[in-house]
Structure 1
Amino acid sequence: MTLDLAGFDRALAEHGPVARVLVAEARGSVPRGAGTAMLVWEDGFTGTIGGGALEWRALEVARDVLRGGHTRVERVPLGPALGQCCGGAVTLVVERIAAVPETPWLRRVEGARDAPALRGFAFRDGWLREEAAAPARAVWVWGAGHVGAALVATLAPLPEIEVTWVDVSEKRFPDLPDGVTKLIAAEPPRAMARAPTHAEHLILTYSHEIDLALCHAALNRGFAFCGLIGSATKWARFRSRLAALGHDGAAIDRIRCPIGDPGLGKHPQAIAIGVAAALLSRRTPAAAKKDGAA
């Protein structure tokens, strides 16, 4: 549920040992729920447990643990201790991490009791158990122009999303956010074969011809979602050309164009916000299954 093993690997490779802050328990109104975590090193961190004052306190504790190496369990009533208006309470477990843990990860973080029977994500009797995070949503962003860069920067920090960013040459990419996979493809439509069939595609290249070829390739490959940037006029032309390529109307209707929220404006960041909001509001099969089991 909570263990981002790839995130551990990246942070350890770049920074050496790190401290991890985990919300092990959450009661009442709190900024983030149980299972939320952040990784901290001496001069930086990734992730967030939210809450402003809570996070600043957590960073101080984490750097102390990073230097001293002793696990700490902090029970924090947000109102009395930090003056936060949400008024709930959280239990933080702060640990020093020097290697990627094996899963499931069961360890005693306080006290001296024997281990209880725990399943899934659980914190009880001083023992903490975690499993690897659920597979990330595979989002493929086609195009590294201004809108693509804004969109990747918006999506990359989200732990449930794994971004693959595709364009035709190295020079088209700006600095790559942490956790984003860069794919250089001289012929982007041919790279569609590398995408999993459950991928969610956002097509926004510099070329209408490449956009059309990517839509054609996506329809042949299969996808969970496919969105295309453009106007209603562009989409009308694409629909006609995709039909001429042999795709039926029901298949073509699975591609969404335009994407985003036109009411937000045409600034790249505004487009990115609208597209990201629409993507996050889309129910995935995993989310539907989880809701059905609740």
Structure 2
Amino acid sequence: MSLDRETLARAVAAHGRVARLLVARAEGSTPRETGAAMLVWADGQSGTIGGGALEFEAARSARALLAGGGAQSLSRIPLGPAMGQCCGGAVTLLTEVFDARALAVLPDAVFARNVNGPVRPPLPVQRLIRAARSTGQPPAAQFTGGWMVEPLAEPALPLWIYGAGHVGRALIATLAPLPDFAITWVDTAATRFPDDIAEGVTRLIAANPAETVAYAPPDAHHLILTFSHALDLELCHRLLSRGFGGAGLIGSATKWARFRTRLARLGHSEAQISRIQCPIGRPELGKHPQAIAVGVAAALLARDKTQHAAKDATG
């Protein structure tokens, strides 16, 4: 797990002072792993450290810390004796308060700070920081020598979703809570979107959504699922003419066969056209919008993790 600077910055911008609850150490059977985190503010919260009694009490303590003007607290919680939970393990929970000033001094790659240890980083922490600087590979989240060490999350994958119909809404509901994606949601009118859009999702209204392709980052992944086959085809054509990180098109085998023929007539090679995945998701899961969304989310997460693993292997 990594500290997600972008999510933290949005929460601070919206709420001023925010408490971040972090599982600094997980021993035995626990609801979440080391590095799991959530954010808490005066009248709300996001994320989870496992739910149930632990999360309820931790959030209550975090709000007390915020109200009292505190900056940090650390506690070890045996889940059975203290919380009455069936998990037999223990959680060391670190709560830290962030505001705009604290955000401004966050480092670029590794966030190492003194929790209850020596003022200077102990040797194991120094080694972790040096290794991260020399290899470019951040360490796993860990609490060692009284210091908490965390990697900062890499920038989220830009994900552009065209279409705010049933499948588009299911995709947003499934993907928006994940920190892996920076989502831009495109359609032709404000009335096409729901009244409430998930935090962190950028709504983009365009009379011709195909024209917005020019504004997407070169490495963006695109999911095309509009109400119009003509618009779907135009989006595919624009993407193939410009380049993209990945692309998927909703549709049947028959629709894709017709699109392949038409895209070839527009001058695109077979190799280029084959970069667009159609259908999207996992067809064996069915055609229900939520089933499509689950399949797409699984494929995107697997793709993202594979790319990170390949990057790590090459250094």
- Greater helix fraction, Structure 1 or Structure 2: 2
Return the offset for 1:293: 7.6
1 CA distance for matches of 2:286 and 2:309? Answer: 30
Provide the C-alpha distance between the structure 2 equivalents of 1:219 and 1:31, rounded to a whole number of angstroms: 44
After superposition, give the CA deviation of every residue in 1:129-163 in whole Å (9 maximum; x if it has no partner).
44431111221111111211111121011011111
Q: CA deviation at 1:8?
A: 2.1
Q: Are residues 1:253 and 2:274 paired?
A: yes
Q: What amino acid does structure 2 have at the position aligned with 1:158?
A: L
Partner SS for 1:165: strand
| 1:15 alignment partner in structure 2 | 15
Which residue of the other structure, out of 206, 214, 238, is the alignment partner of 1:185? 206
Following TM superposition, by how much is the alpha carbon of 1:231 offset from its aligned partner in structure 2, in angstroms? 1.1
Counterpart in the other structure of 1:288:
310
* Residue 70 of structure 1, CA deviation: 4.3
The yes-or-no answer on 1:162 pairing with 2:169 is: no
How far did residue 288 of structure 1 move? Answer: 2.8
- Alignment CA distance shift 1:57-1:268 (3 Å): same
Name the residue aligned to 1:238.
Answer: 259
- Partners in 1 of 2:28 and 2:142 — Cα distance? 18
* Cα displacement (A) at 1:213: 0.9
In the alignment, structure 1 segments of 5+ residues that lack a partner are: none
State the secondary structure of the residue aligned to 2:191: helix
Partner of 1:61: 61
Structure 2: which 5+ runs fail to align?
130-137
Q: Confirm whether residue 98 of structure 1 aligns to residue 119 of structure 2.
A: no
Q: Percent identity?
A: 59
Contact 1:103 1:131 in 2 (8 A): no
Matched, 1:142 2:162: yes
Query: Aligned partners of 1:239 and 1:31: how far apart in 2?
Result: 47
Does the aligned pair in 1 maintain the 2:35–2:142 contact within 8 Å?
A: no
Give 1:59's aligned amino acid.
A
Work out which of the residue numbers 151, 156, 176 in structure 1 matches 2:171. 151
Letter of the 2:56 partner, please give it: W
- Find the aligned partners of 1:249 and 1:258 in 2 and give their Cα distance: 17
Aligned to 2:216: 195
- Aligned residue for 2:38? 38
Q: Is the 8 A contact 2:34 2:142 kept in 1?
A: no
Q: Residues 165 and 182 of structure 1 are in contact (CA less than 8 Å); yes or no, is this contact kept in structure 2?
A: yes
Q: CA deviation at 1:72?
A: 1.1
Q: How many residues align?
A: 293
CA gap 1:169/1:9 in 2 versus in 1, 3 angstroms: same
Deviation for aligned residue 1:284: 4.1
The residue identity in structure 2 corresponding to 1:145 is G
| CA root-mean-square deviation | 2.3
